[in-house]
Amino acid sequence: MKTYKLLTPGPLTTTETVKKEMMVDHCTWDDDYKKITQEIRNELLRLAHADKSNYTVVLMQGSGTFGVESVLSSVVGEEDKLLIAANGAYGNRMEEIAKLNKIPYVIYKEDYDKIPSAEKIEKILKDDSKITHVSMIHSETTSGILNDIEAVAKVVKEAGKVFIVDAMSSFAGVDIDVEDLRIDFLVSSANKCIQGVPGFSFIICKRDELEKSKEKARTLSLNLYEQWKTMEIDGKWRFTSPTHVVLAFYKALKELQEEGGIPERAKRYRENNKLLIEKMRELGIETYIDSKHQGPIITTFFYPKDSNFNFQDMYDFIKERGYAIYPGKVTEADTFRIGNIGEIYREDILKVVSIFKEFLESNRSK
């Protein structure tokens, strides 16, 4: 199979050493394995700046969406009401989850190139006293925008509501002080900025709010409270865990610390992003999101103005030369996306831009 690097927001390019961890088979009942689960949970709390007396971590089988659905379907009760702040596909996916799980909700939609307004959220909360929970995306990879969870957290907590954050592609790539922001539930995934592989999500939970969710769950396997109660005993998962993925994640956590922790990883991602935007602009390719709100995880670019190509041709050309990019998700504009997280460095950014240049030049000569 031909190998290539992923310029995507996850799954992403991992180190060879992380991959090698998956060459070992492990028993889910083994004490050594359960100890690894507990160490992962403790390390995630440390990365989140969350005290163990106030917060806990639940690992949940499946992709990031499984984690989001686990939270929404487990903690928003039948007598509660959810406000979803959405400015992209993943905010809209929360609405799909709410509909299918028959969760009472209201949605506030913002344009894909604009962040959800804390002021508007504050007004919605004042106008609708039935709202008990508020959810939003931090890094909306539909566009690459980084939403202002700090401002929203302030109005949500002042209103006395439960705050749920999907920090899928930002956690550990952007430093988030969960306790300081008083986030009640933060969801992320193994295959994002910690640079593991797909297979489980994790939820950083305020203990008292998690306790309140007892008997609210709408599903068996995604029952967040029951998963926590089982895991809290000795690190055992309720149902079969993705052992190979867990071992890879454990190694990835160690490699994050070896790199210098979140500050150094965030710096590398920001520098990748800055260089990418700068070099693409030299080719006449502009960003969809303005510089104030552009996140460091993935960037949406407009097609060059004088382009006469289709995305698939461009994708194939770039992939043949060692990299995979993303199509755009912004429906009203012709765009494509390039991620810069994972084992991606300055030389990769310069290389992929040179491939773009080669493609554009070859395309114009046709």
Fold matches, 5-9+261-365 and 16-258 = no
Report helix, strand or coil for 197: coil
Task: Identify the residue whose tokens are 């909360």.
Answer: 125
pLDDT band at 308 (very low <50, low <70, confident <90, very high): confident
Instruction: Name the residue type at position 355.
Output: I
Q: Are strands 82-86 and 133-137 parallel, antiparallel or unpaired?
A: parallel
What is the widest separation between alpha-carbon atoms in the chain?
66
| Average pLDDT over the chain, rounded to an integer | 95
CATH entry 3.50.40.10 includes domain 16-258: no
**Is pLDDT at 204 greater than 80 in this prediction?**
yes
* Contact criterion met (CB below 8 Å) for 85 and 108: yes
pTM for the predicted model, two decimal places: 0.96
Q: Residue 290 and residue 144: Cα distance in Å, rounded? A: 10
pLDDT in tens, 250-289: 999 999 999 999 999 999 999 999 999 999 999 999 999 9
Report helix, strand or coil for 335: strand
pLDDT in tens, 32-90: 999 999 999 999 999 999 999 999 999 999 999 999 999 999 999 999 999 999 999 99
Six-digit token pair at 222? 């995604």
pLDDT band at 330 (very low <50, low <70, confident <90, very high): confident
What pLDDT is recorded for position 366? 59
Report helix, strand or coil for 242: coil
Q: Residue 181 and residue 174: Cα distance in Å, rounded? A: 14
Q: Residue 308 and residue 189: Cα distance in Å, rounded? A: 37
What pLDDT is recorded for position 10? 86
**How large is the average pLDDT for residues 292-309?**
89
Closest CA to 21 of 193, 196, 189, 191: 196
* Contact criterion met (CB below 8 Å) for 14 and 195: yes
Q: What percent of the chain has pLDDT over 70?
A: 99
Query: What contacts 363, CB < 8 A, 6 or more positions away?
Result: 307, 308, 309, 313
What pLDDT is recorded for position 331? 67
Query: What contacts 26, CB < 8 A, 6 or more positions away?
Result: 32, 33, 243, 244, 246, 247
What pLDDT is recorded for position 329? 76
Query: What contacts 161, CB < 8 A, 6 or more positions away?
Result: 83, 125, 131, 132, 133, 134
**Is pLDDT at 173 greater than 80 in this prediction?**
yes
Domain boundaries, the chain: 5-9+261-365, 16-258
What pLDDT is recorded for position 310? 81
218 known ligand binder: no
List C-alpha distances in Å: 52 to 41, 87, 179, 264, 353: 10, 33, 10, 25, 44
Count Cβ atoms below 10 Å from residue 182 Cβ, excluding itself: 15
Whether omega for the bond prior to residue 104 falls within 30 degrees of 0, making it cis, is no
Tell me the CATH architecture of domain 5-9+261-365.
Answer: Alpha-Beta Complex (3.90)
**Is pLDDT at 306 greater than 80 in this prediction?**
no
